[in-house]
A and B are shown apart, each in its own frame.
Chain A
């Protein structure tokens, strides 16, 4: 019997094929049953912290440009957009005006933007110049030693994390510039789902 004849023989025989179907159903069903998640996993609780969609946003505390500090976990209850950027990065420059416009329009609805300057590969003076140039009104945090960039596994600038009111990352956008539509759609999605 050749290799090609074997399955054909099975297909020709209705009883044999029906038996195969039943066997697949039973085995597949058993595997599905074995793979069920136990109740505690289903109930879940807070997801672990990791910089990707569906996980809790890793917490950080950073100093702000102009004084003061910001702690991400203290912003629970607001939709937070964390944007990692540098003053020398062209796409960061290109998308920042759209971020500022979105912030102005939606801050009263519960949006907060935290722009994290990757100061370890930029400079505080350059960051201050950038903020003045674009007239940014949201908090600008300084990642002086790269700890936050490292924790967020920064692979490219700009990188943006859309975080819901529970502190869960809902969307990650690496690279840019982001279109204004993308920025507003992602924010609106969060604001609508968790009012």
Chain B
């Protein structure tokens, strides 16, 4: 694990760099796929961009709201670069809301837009795996297996490496677009279903699972539901034979 790189007085957060690279790659791929689907690629790019900006701002404001007196005393802390003062769930919700409103205002059609986002999101998931590898987050359960890695004072499953391998597999599948026809939204659903399946499998080896009563791992229950809903939607979204065209 190489979470930080000290360059003189500067401590570079390598996981953050991996995520930034992931965002850059995701934007590039989204733009490319949007053009391929004959969408207004500028609108799609801006939708993602403003969604990201709103997500970051929303995450910081939500965090500050939780500690209002602190931030009222030192309001400049709102501008601090530290990612630890972000509220991720609120950020994601704000980002999705703003991206959704932007897409609607620009009349971006839902399913083709989702398909345009699919390869970029898949690439970003690979970057998330790399960021986890660098930071040591999303670590594995202790193991005696010969490929266990020494991390956080124990030999553990290298779940971050499993995560990268699975995310690469999902990316390749989504890149090939094996289902339906371009723009029908099936490729996006494929991404969701495969990512959910990957998490369902991977969670069994994690050492930091959120555990519900009875020993159930929360992420597995949620992932299974996500996979089933995506598969059910796939058939619902699959175009009827008379509307199907050859690619």
Contact = CB atoms under 8 A, between A and B. Distances in A.
Interface in A1-35: 3-4, 7-8, 11-12, 14, 17, 20-21, 24-25, 28-29, 31-32, 34-35
B70 A173 contact: no
A52 B6 contact: no
Nearest to A44: B211
B238 A35 contact: no
Contact of A181 (B85, B180, B204): B85
- What is the interface residue range for chain A against chain B? 35 or more
B214 interface: yes
- What is the interface residue range for chain B against chain A? 35 or more
B85 A179 contact: yes
Interface in B165-221: 178-180, 186, 197, 200-201, 203-204, 208-209, 211, 214-217, 220-221
A68 interface: no
* Chain A, interface SS category: helix
Given A52-B136, A179-B76, A181-B64, A39 B228 contact: no
Contact of B11 (A29, A175, A179): A175
Q: What are the nearest 7 A-B pairs in CB distance?
A: A181-B77, A175-B11, A35-B204, A156-B11, A179-B80, A179-B77, A36-B215
Given A49-B153, A157-B11, 19 more contacts: A17-B234, A24-B227, A28-B224, A32-B200, A36-B215, A50-B154, A52-B136, A89-B9, A155-B3, A157-B6, A178-B82, A179-B76, A181-B76, A181-B77, A182-B84, A184-B73, A186-B84, A188-B70, A189-B67
